[in-house]
Amino acid sequence: MQKNIRNFSIIAHIDHGKSTLADRIIQECGAVADRDLSAQMMDTMDIEQERGITIKAQSVRLNYVKDGQNYILNLIDTPGHVDFSYEVSRSLASSDGALLIIDATQGVEAQTIANVYIAMDNDLEILPVVNKIDLPSADPDRVLEEVEEAIGIDCTESNLISAKTGVGVKALIDAIVDRIPSPVGDTDAPTKALIYDSWFDNYLGALALVRVYDGSIKKGQMIRMMNTQEEHQVLNLMYPHPRKPTKTNVIETGEIGIVILGLKTTNSIAVGDTITDAKNPTAEVIDGFEPAKPFVFAGIYPIETDKFEDLRDALNKLQLNDSSISFEPESSAALGSGFRTGFLGMLHMEVIKERLEREFDLDLIATAPTVVYEILKTDGTRITIQNPSELPAPNYIDTIFEPYVKATILVPDEFLGNVIKLLNDKRGNQNKMDYIGKRVLLDYDIPMNEIVMDFYDKLKSTTKGYASFDYEPIGFRPGVLQKLDIKVAGEIVDALSIIVPENKALSKGREFIKALKELIPRQLFEVAIQASIGNNVIARETVKSTGKNVTAKCYGGDITRKRKLLEKQKAGKKRMKAIGKVNVPQEAFMAVLKI
């Protein structure tokens, strides 16, 4: 019955305790035996557990009894990282309320604010929850004041909890039942459901996690996806649970469930799409649909050239359950054959590269990540490029457009000067600056490429880790940019080319080759490293030669010693790519991020 259903998300800044609270609520509802609670319940992927972050949004259906009444609680754990903000927004669109978790020792942070805005856009009932009150430095009163001041939410009815010890969690669940509205929807209307997550299961194939708004989804029903226009039959239905989903024959109005269509890839299950009945479709598509769009691109190359097809297979497999990755073959004069691969953001890129190496046992070289540029050419045509080496020669370029983001930064006022300096240095434009107690909330437009280039680490170090940061893409703007090329031993290494602001080309070029000089190991011969713009060399460094052949000294000597030395050299080479005669290590391709 709809009136006994509560659909809610948990939103928070990273590390404020979303996943811990989710686990605690599951336990409180008796959905798992206590002895199964050893590990974090909601973060089920290996990498999630190791890194302590949530990558895929997970949902769980729970039963709860209050005052003799049975309730169904559908809990949606959302990923907190900015790369996955589209998933957060779809999760929230599926909810009727949100628990806003704030760490009692930290207070409001940039992602707290960004997520609250998404929750408000979706008209959710927001319950402020102050977590970690077990810690000695907890200051719930100050934190609640901040929430009222920074976000403008009334905090007279708030919950103080410790997700770790369980204090206050039962009262919080009661508050969920009392304050979060039950779903409204027309049980007799045609099927209307939102796909808010999809993933791939080795046994069941591609799965869609849905919220039903009107009507119901039944086993055997022919359904249509309204954006992709595909039609499929519902093979099975389940209620979600991180350990043991249960089968059902129908998902009713207001409910959440997993739809199994027997598909071999998630490509046709687009998050944000609307499911309806194929024969009796609804008139209204649920709005806000956006196809997953990669923002950051990098070249990924196997170190051993004969592993190209293995890499293609691995990317294909990963794409089955993560349709936000894109890839196409590219060849680099320097690195050989590989793939230009698109990601949602920097964390996503790191996770995918790590999974390729671990799960598929590949040794890879990744080039520095870059954004997409739009080029208006002098002949009036427009092209987009995902690789700096594709930039046309200057006389063919009318304007280069680069993607911008709106950045939200929250920083204690003592570091304000440092942060403003950093933002100016990164070509940021200030929109707004507000004081919240002793902290400052900054709203800037900034080129996305500057964010990709190590912005977050610099922000952390210049604020002793006290600043928090969130961003969202806001479209393309013209930039005064040019391409900087790097030559190693006289040859341009296409994989090292970067696009830089014209007025910084000289200093960037100098710093870049200084960094490369430190990273490229000495070889048997002298290696020149040059930075150039067009045909002009703007800076030059030299890696001195070792002067002697390493194996030469064992010449005629003990053969096992010689073999050992060669093995050692081989191991050292593992992350190196031979460019011409020069061995270049993986770090060199990322060096540009640190300058």
Using CB under 6 A, list all residues that contact ligand GDP: 12, 14-20, 52, 54, 80, 131-132, 134-135, 162-164
| CB nearer Mg ion, residue 19 or residue 389 | 19
Which letter does DSSP use for residue 37 in this model?
G
Report helix, strand or coil for 482. Answer: strand
Give the C-alpha distances (Å, rounded to integers) separating 206 from 46, 268, 319, 545.
20, 9, 11, 55
Q: Give the max Cα distance, the chain.
A: 89
19 known member of a binding site? yes
Report the relative pairing of strands 429-436 and 382-385 from DSSP bridges. Answer: unpaired
Which residue is closest to Mg ion by CB?
19
Give the C-alpha separation, 129 to 160, whole Å. 6
Q: How far is the CB of 113 from ligand GDP (least distance, A)?
A: 15
* For ligand GDP, the closer CB: 14 or 346: 14
Give the number of residues in contact with Mg ion, rule: CB under 5 A.
Answer: 3
Ligand-binding site membership of 557 (annotated): no
Give the per-residue contact string, 50-79, with Mg ion (x = CB under 5 A; - = no): ----x-------------------------
Among 7, 9, 19, 408, binds Mg ion (CB under 5 A): 19
Q: Is 16 annotated to bind ligand?
A: yes
- C-beta of 93 vs 160, nearer to ligand GDP: 160
HSE-up of residue 22 (Cα within 13 Å, Cβ side): 32
CA distance 115 to 127: 13
| Residue 17 counted as an annotated binding residue | yes
Residue among 49 and 545 whose Cβ is closer to Mg ion? 49
- Check whether 348 is labelled as a binding-site residue: no
Which among 46-54, 160-168, 449-457, 480-488 is the span making contact with Mg ion, rule CB under 5 A?
46-54
For the CB of residue 240, give the shortest distance to ligand GDP in the complex, in Å. Answer: 18
φ/ψ of residue 470, rounded to 5: -145, 155
Q: Which does 132 bind (CB under 5 to 8 A by kind): ligand GDP, Mg ion, none?
A: ligand GDP
Is position 7 an interface residue for Mg ion (rule: CB under 5 A)? Answer: no
Q: Which residues partner with 213 through β-bridges?
A: none
Instruction: Give the end-to-end CA distance of the chain in Å, rounded to a whole number.
Output: 59
Query: CA geometry: angle at 43 spanning 346 and 96, to 5°?
Result: 90
Amino acid occupying residue 65: V
Which C-beta is closer to ligand GDP: that of 39 or that of 559? 39
20 is in an annotated binding site: yes
131 labeled part of a ligand binding site: yes
List residues bridging with 332 in a β-sheet: 336
Interaxial angle between packed helices 416-425 and 455-462, expressed in degrees from 0 to 180 and rounded to the nearest 10: 160
23 is in an annotated binding site: no
Q: 148 touches which of Mg ion, ligand GDP, none (CB within 5 to 8 A by kind)? A: none
Partner from Mg ion, ligand GDP, none binding residue 131, C-beta < 5-8 Å depending on class: ligand GDP
- What crossing angle do the helices spanning 346-359 and 308-321 adopt, rounded to 10°? 120
Residue ranges of the binding site for GTP? 15-20, 131-134
Which residues of the shown chain bind Mg ion in the complex (CB under 5 A)? 18-19, 54
